[in-house]
Structure 1
């Protein structure tokens, strides 16, 4: 999946301003977090950004670049402003598109995921004739992440944790829309040191007692292999293989020659706190 990621404004064009903030800086910070989270967390993702620093780039340059690159999706990150009283989040697709279009379906998904976490008033899904939506040849979405001239929204924008949460909401939507697969890495794996596997629980308990007498803590777990129940003596679980191998060597030096390492996928439960 090829994402063209466009932090709105930049350089001589600061965008909106308010409460000591410049839109161009907020847009860039959120976009960089989107890029980093996507490429670090998902397989087969390429991200090309219209800018990665505070540089000036025309709207035509942005859409020309995305079209020439053959992007699968164009995502433009912005903040809003009005009269200081307006607040909240909204996003846009091009005004000529129907609600049943592919672009609209992507909007549905991203809107749901962003508003789930961003703590902003939901101003809805909208359509407009913005250049980046009109001139991009791929599905495109422009998100307006709060009103920079509103004190309540601006207070959130000032917080790096909020900007990361908003970035994650965008990432979650993209991952669902394009069926992205998470990367598997060492942080997703547990390395378990097994100090013996027995069909008799008594034998497993003897091994636990043997290890305890040599200063090594362990416990008995069970696993079913080919329909048969086995009692495994586990002497540690580690996030890195180096740590597991160090424990394995300790167990083997204690006289347990049939010890080994097994790898298992961690079960991760993610909880998202949503403020109303």
Structure 2
């Protein structure tokens, strides 16, 4: 039996959503959703992951829910950023009148899996699981949850939404929450690792199949390398490296990257950290 999941990046096109601190909600929501979809597809079999949009286009609310209902989705997750000032923080929503216990369980596991990933990296306010009369949650025929990924107009939250590790953690949490809800398992599931360059944290990576992968542009540029893209392949100082596409970012194995730029690379097993040093 195939499980169908619909991810819904909020807003898009002429509707930017909340706009503040140089960020637009539509862009952040799409980046997180694409990354979550990529993680689900890469780690688990027997699932079908659909998105209501994969580019900067406007999709009306009725069309979003129609996609999920027409495809007979088993779960619907709408991804947004909050606004309104105050102290900021993270929260999730389900339809206030939902009588389906599966909806509250989906909300519980999503909220928990996301929070336990973003709290250790500096997100310090959990506003809790909530209920409201939200269109996309009300008009879908399956368990549906809307996620508010921090406050785009709160300075501290806006800075967090610019950080690769926070965006990665939000995407990881969405994927892990859905996997937990459906009881999905993977024999080849990546282990999250921390990547440091010259003693400074730069990004999260994945250890899988005996290799540690990381986002090429973030890690490479931190090492002073020139990063390119040729025929869907990342180049580092003109050298093509094995490439995985995670969301919209090209990831490469870190040891070959280190070899190209002549950086020293080491592994700290106690902290699950790859350390690169020029």
Q: Pairwise mapping of residues 1-276 of structure 1 onto structure 2 (< 5 A)? A: 1-83=3-85, 85-98=86-99, 101-119=101-119, 120=123, 121-184=125-188
Query: How far is the alpha carbon of 1:86 from its aligned partner?
Result: 3.1
- Where 2:128 maps in the other structure, the secondary structure is strand
Normalising by the residue count of structure 2, what TM-score does the alignment of the two structures yield? Answer: 0.65
Confirm or deny: 8 A CA contact 2:113 2:173 kept in the other structure. Answer: yes
Relative distance call for 1:189 and 1:79 in structure 2 (3 A) is closer
CA contact (8 A) 2:36 2:174 kept: yes
Counterpart position of 2:227: none
State the SS of the aligned residue for 1:10.
coil
Alpha carbons of structure 1 residues 15 and 188: separation in structure 2 relative to 1, 3 Å = closer
Q: CA deviation at 1:188?
A: 5.7
Gap runs ≥5 in structure 1: 191-267
Distance 1:270 1:4, change over 3 A: farther
Which aligned segments of 4 or more residues in structure 1 are displaced greater than 4 angstroms? 185-190, 268-272
Question: What SS does structure 2 have at the residue aligned with 1:146?
Answer: strand
Q: How many residues align?
A: 193
Q: Deviations over 1:82-128 (max 9, x none)?
A: 03x33000000000025x71110111111111111113310011001
After superposition, the Cα gap between the structure-2 partners of 1:151 and 1:182, relative to the gap in structure 1 and judged at 3 Å, is: same
Could you say which structure has the larger radius of gyration?
1
Q: Write the deviation string for residues 36-87 of structure 1: whole angstroms up to 9, x where unpaired.
A: 011001111211100000001100000011100110000000000003x330
Give yes or no for contact 2:6–2:73 (8 Å, CA) kept in 1.
Answer: yes
SS of corresponding position for 2:109: helix
Equivalent residue number for residue 254 of structure 1: none
Q: 1:43 touches 1:183 (CA, 8 Å); kept in 2? A: no
Alpha-carbon distance in structure 2 between the residues aligned to 1:25 and 1:188: 29
- Aligned equivalents of 1:62, 1:270: Cα separation in 2: 41
Instruction: For structure 2, list consecutive stretches of 5 or more residues without a partner in the other structure.
Output: 191-206, 211-268, 274-278
